[in-house]
């Protein structure tokens, strides 16, 4: 679902910071070589992630759902000099692709790749987080949130992608559509949980910014 016209989306991109050359190359190669390239965060959302990270200045970042590494590199742009980004994905075939582009960046040695189920991996990471980006299987968003909140530093930020789910959150829900049902519950949880405060932004497919109180 397009919430804005193509002309307005183009205007917004033209009047937002240009993506760095490494990310432009990663974007191009993803579209050339990888299935489902629209899963990439892309220019505009990438600049939003970069700006938020620069405002937060995180030391420790967690990303759930690496895909080809575009969003991880955007989040690294605001990371402090002693910072670490942990990124988790289940697709073994993407590990080398990610690492190639990570190592071309200034943060290659500070990006830790984890392969496997995030629900199993998160408890093993010996760190608390300043910034988390959730962009993986929607059925586990609530599970991820409840696992992450106790590991967040006070004032830390959780970013959740795809929370408008192509507009399905305001349509009649198919009884078999588990993802939409979970996202509806998740969006309510973020708005009502006393541990956090949340604003939902209509950026691409919906991005929530949730602050730990």
Q: Is 81:55 a contact under the CB 8 Å cutoff? A: no
Radius of gyration of the chain (CA): 16
Q: Which two tokens stand for residue 191?
A: 């708005």
Report the percentage of the chain scoring pLDDT > 90.
85
What's the pLDDT tens digit per position in 121-137?
A: 999 999 999 999 999 99
d(CA 150, CA 25): 37
pTM: predicted TM-score of the whole model, two decimal places: 0.94
156-174 exposure pattern, b = at least 16 Cβ within 10 A, e = fewer = bbbbbbbbbbeebbeeeee
Q: What is the pLDDT of residues 157-213, one digit of tens each?
A: 999 999 999 889 999 999 999 999 999 999 999 999 999 999 999 988 999 999 999
């Amino acid at each position: 679902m397009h919430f804005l016209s193509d002309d307005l989306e183009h205007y917004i991109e033209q009047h937002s910071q240009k993506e760095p050359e490494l990310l432009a190359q990663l974007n191009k190669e993803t579209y050339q070589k990888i299935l489902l390239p629209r899963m990439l965060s892309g220019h505009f959302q990438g600049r939003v992630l970069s700006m938020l990270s620069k405002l937060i200045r995180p030391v420790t970042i967690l990303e759930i759902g690496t895909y080809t590494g575009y969003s991880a590199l955007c989040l690294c742009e605001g990371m402090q000099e002693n910072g670490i980004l942990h990124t988790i994905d289940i697709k073994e075939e993407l590990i080398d692709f990610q690492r190639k582009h990570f190592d071309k960046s200034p943060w290659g040695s500070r990006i830790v790749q984890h392969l496997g189920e995030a629900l199993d991996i998160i408890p093993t990471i010996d760190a608390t987080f300043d910034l988390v980006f959730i962009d993986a299987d929607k059925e586990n968003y609530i599970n991820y949130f409840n696992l992450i909140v106790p590991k967040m530093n006070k004032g830390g930020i959780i970013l959740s992608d795809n929370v408008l789910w192509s507009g399905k959150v305001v349509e009649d829900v198919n009884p078999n559509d588990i993802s939409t049902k979970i996202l509806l519950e998740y969006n309510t949880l973020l708005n009502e949980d006393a541990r956090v405060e949340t604003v939902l932004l209509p950026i691409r497919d919906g991005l929530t910014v949730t602050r730990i109180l």
